[in-house]
Amino acid sequence: MKKVIVGMGTCGLSAGARPVHERLQALVEDHPDVCAPGITGCIGMCYREPLVEIRDGGNRWIYGDVDAEKMGRIFEAHVLTDRIPEAVSVVYSEMADGTRGGEEKDFLALQQRIVLRHCGLIDPESMDDYLAVDGYKALRRALTEMRPEGILQTVKDSGLRGRGGAGFSTGLKWSFAAANQGEKKFVICNADEGDPGAFMDRSVLESDPHAVLEGMAICAAAIGGTHGYIYCRAEYPLALHRLYLALDAARAAGFLGQNIMGTDFSFDIKIKQGAGAFVCGEETALFASIEGQRGMPRIRPPFPAEKGLWQQPTNNNNVETYANVPWIIRHGAERYAELGTEKSRGTKVFALAGKVVRGGLVEVPMGTTIRELVHRIGGGIKDGRTFKAVQMGGPSGGCIPAALEDTHVDFESIPATGAIMGSGGMIVLDDTSCMVEIARYFLNFTQQESCGKCTFCRIGTLRMLEILERITCGEGDPADPDKLLLLAGQIKEASLCGLGQTAPNPVLTTMRYYRDEYDAHIRDHTCPAGVCNALVDFFIDPDKCTGCTLCAKQCPVQAISGQPRAPHVIDTQVCVKCGKCLSSCNFGAIFKG
């Protein structure tokens, strides 16, 4: 019997997957016994959601940009009569003989998926689906065929490094926690994911929650962990819903709880919902938050392996780090270590966002170049514009210019550019991006998210932000770049945690690679990209204006005049540059210059 599966990750749902799913259910009711309906998570092609997949024997077809009406056509044609319907895009197909096709064939074909191995393939709400892809076999092997030292050695040998940003050796970190004793020992999964533009962890939790639970249980078995916590932000309701379901199912199946799989190993996991503070992703602030205190970082040492949550030995890893572990245990350290570069083994998941054609989730071997990610997998820049830079590592990261697009993404090469690997957010910028404004945006974020504990982070970032704000308003002073550099150095040096230590990075990298843009704002009072409103005027192109009058109606200060059905004009003396006309124009007639 055919299977018809709707992608129901957050990306699919926000693009309209629910009505598609409802239509499918109605069709199945009208035609019982012709197909089995199902759901799945995110396969990574967020830019073509809603996606619907038909599986028939060993063949699969994924349709993209599906709505309820197209769902009906797919059902009539493909499900009922084995025909590919007209005017509905097959974005990917894979036949039993291995032949691949579809409009977006390259997107998946160019990737190597370990962390995302089940994402978009299984129903994340079904234990049967997870077991069908050999779920919990790695845990069984770890508990019944390996000793804790063997697990630690395997993880060390794999070369896996933490995917939360710092890239510390996971095996080494586990062995530190294993060496310490306490009344309790905690295994924590950091699913805070506060970086703007990042959605790797959310997608993994929504699409394959058991892989993370299994990875955590294996970690507990290796280090003697007794209690687990997943710290996940409350803004991820679907991830939380699926995590709660997965926890219940895992307990019911005996994969969590007392005497797991009939052994003397007992371990269970609780969920702590975070309130969405960026600093609570920093592990010691995360512990404080779980403990019910205000989320503020603590001084290290003592390190978490010795005194972490509630002063007990603790191991904390990122979602993606844990999701790698079952694969490593099942396939062996060697196979994992074959992928990637000498010092950065395995694969890395990236959330491709911004001005790239194929925005979504991708997984590639470490060492893949930025060029490959942006142009080949990402399909290049939207609207035929020019690639300008990629912002990596979120607010702690930096901007890597297009000239360095042959840089390899790994824990050595990216920091050499002044950016950081971070957790995998990759925001692609085109020639319409102002790099001073980008720096201001990220600094505004870190400034607001500073917990306030360190003076340099709390006040230093505010002073930097004030300088950037006046530069983007055309009121910069020639001494400002030096002041920014001075403050940046002091904030990095004197802040307690990674938030302050890295907050100046977006400013430093944009000053390093785009100093001319800073100079243009300060010296010439111009914004070369035409982004900073204070430095540009709004105009109407008479050849494009149809005189629809919409912009004039939107303008809060009556700066736009003209007769209906005749080109309008903007009085730049009256205009307050709010941009409402620009966003309301349906004819692309309004421009900044």
The footprint of ligand FMN (CB under 6 A) covers 162-166, 168, 190, 192-194, 278-279, 281-283, 316-318, 321, 423, 497-499
Q: With respect to ligand FMN, which residue has the nearer C-beta, 169 or 549?
A: 169
* DSSP code per residue over 209-275: HHHHHHHHHHHHHHHT--EEEEEEETT-HHHHHHHHHHHHHHHHTTSSBSSGGGSS--BEEEEEEE-
Q: How far apart are CA 37 and CA 109, in angstroms?
A: 26
Identity of the residue, 93 or 315, whose beta carbon is nearer to ligand FMN in the bound complex: 315
Task: Give me the least distance between CB of 495 and ligand FMN, in Å please.
Answer: 10
Q: How far is CA 272 from CA 188, 240, 276, 294, 307, in A?
A: 10, 10, 12, 14, 19
Q: How far is the CB of 211 from ligand FMN (least distance, A)?
A: 14
C-alpha separations of 499 from 398, 433, 504 in Å? 13, 25, 9
Residue 263 — φ and ψ, nearest 5°?
-95, 180
Tokens of 64: 């993209």
At its nearest, how many Å lie between ligand FMN and the CB of residue 448?
A: 12
* Contact by Cβ (8 Å): 295, 233: no
Check the CA dihedral 294-299-305-311 and report its sign: negative
Q: Name the minimum Å distance from CB 385 to ligand FMN.
A: 31
Q: Which is nearer to ligand FMN, 192 or 208 (CB)?
A: 192
Number of CB atoms found within 10 A of residue 262's CB: 9
Q: Which residue, 39 or 138, is less far from ligand FMN as judged by CB?
A: 138
- Between 436 and 499, name the residue whose CB sits nearer to ligand FMN: 499
Cβ-Cβ contacts under 8 Å for 470 (sequence gap 6 or more): 476, 477, 480
Least separation in angstroms between CB 38 and ligand FMN: 31
Residue pair 369/348 in contact by the 8 Å Cβ criterion: no
Q: How far is CA 167 from the centre of its chain?
A: 17
**Min separation Cβ 213 and ligand FMN, Å:** 16
Please say which residue, 464 or 532, places its beta carbon nearer to ligand FMN.
Answer: 464
Q: Choose between 121 and 351: whose C-beta lies nearer to ligand FMN.
A: 351
Q: Compute the least distance from the CB of residue 136 to ligand FMN, in Å.
A: 21
